[in-house]
Amino acid sequence: MTPPNSEVTVEQTHVLEDGLSGIAADWSSDQRTFKKVPWGKAMMWIFLLSDTFIFTCFLTSYMTVRMSTTVDWPNPSEVFALSFGGEPIPLVLIAIMTFILITSSGTMVLAVNYGYRKDKAKTFLFLLITAAFGASFVGMQAFEWTKLIVDEGVRPWANPMGAAQFGSTFFMITGFHGFHVSVGVLFLILIARKVNRGDYDVERRGFFTSRKGNYEIVETMGLYWHFVDLVWVFIFAFFYLW
């Protein structure tokens, strides 16, 4: 008699062939490589891996320039200080930005959690809260850029406070990260709107609509958002604490 779950039984009893033919069969089988993994999530992991290489190259280049320059590097505690009552407070804006972005990871976790439970209202709410945190972060970064460019005279090709490479590396890396956050905010709003309309409950046709009753797109978006937050931790350590 055939077991009720014959597919699982076959998978459990399957034995690979010996030698090169077994290796070839294993590596060429998509079914084994991505077993039970949604295609969108697999592609997001691949995208994040490629993005990891890019940010790694950027930060490695920054370290190389920072250690090889013969001109004094600006002191981050002075460059990124804000004055309150006439007294400069080092890194206060950066600390708030970091707190906001890390907090947004928590609200994203809640959105994914309620997505698993198919709680449309709470998933929508926490997606919007996460998007609001992300938008606040981008707004603060725009303020930081404006202060450096207008008040301090920093340019991608020049820096009156020290090494000229400071401006080019800072604007390139923080700008690339800010672009990721901005794109994430747009997609969070888009997915929140589709959740609120019930697209994932009735499988309405359109972009980013998964199977009926399935909120897996929220988890896929969560992977992206957590990656963006993690990258900021490294940028914070390299640029503002070193």
* 233 DSSP assignment: H
Query: Using CA atoms in the order 162, 164, 165, 168, what is the torsion angle rounded to 10 degrees?
Result: 120
Kindly state the average pLDDT of the residues 65-79.
Answer: 87
Residue span of the structural domain in which 123 resides: 39-240
Say yes or no: 27 and 50 in one domain.
no
Confidence at residue 21, expressed as pLDDT on a 0 to 100 scale: 75
Find the mean pLDDT for residues 90-112. 94
pLDDT of 48 above 70: yes
Same domain, 122 and 22: no
Do 232 and 112 lie in a common domain? yes
pLDDT of residue 5 exceeding 70: no
177 and 232, same domain (yes or no): yes
Span 228-234, average pLDDT:
95
Give the up-direction half-sphere exposure of residue 123: CA atoms within 13 A in the CB hemisphere.
29
pLDDT band at residue 75 under the 50/70/90 scheme:
confident
- Model confidence at 11, pLDDT cuts 50, 70, 90, reads very low
The least confident of 78-82, 96-100, 112-116, 178-182 is 78-82
Most distant CA pair in the chain, distance: 84
pLDDT at 202: 73
Based on the fold, state whether residues 22 and 77 are members of the same structural domain.
no
Length of the chain counted residue by residue: 242
Residues 160-168: contacts with CB under 8 Å, at least 24 apart:
161/74, 161/79, 162/71, 162/72, 162/73, 162/74, 163/65, 163/69, 163/71, 163/72, 163/73, 163/74, 164/71, 165/65, 165/66, 165/69, 166/73, 166/74
Structural domains of the chain, count? 2
> 76 and 149 in one domain?
yes
Over residues 1-20, the mean pLDDT reads: 51
String of b and e for 184-193 (b: at least 16 CB within 10 Å)? Answer: bbebbbbbbe
Give the mean pLDDT of 124-130.
Answer: 96
Do 103 and 123 belong together in one domain? Answer: yes
- Report the distance separating Cα 189 and Cα 132, nearest Å: 9
State whether 29 and 132 are in the same domain: no
Residues 83-92 have a mean pLDDT of 81
DSSP 3-state assignment of 18? coil
Tell whether the model's pLDDT for residue 74 goes beyond 90.
Answer: no
- Report the alpha-carbon distance of residue 131 to residue 134 in Å, rounded: 5
pLDDT at 12: 42
Mean pLDDT of the chain: 84
Task: Give the torsion sign (CA, 162, 167, 168, 170).
Answer: positive
Q: Model confidence over 139-160: pLDDT tens digits?
A: 999 999 999 898 888 888 888 8
Region 76-86: mean pLDDT is 81
- pLDDT at 53 exceeding the cut of 90: yes
31 shares its domain with 46: no
Which residues touch 107 (CB under 8 Å, ≥6 apart)? 126, 129, 130, 133
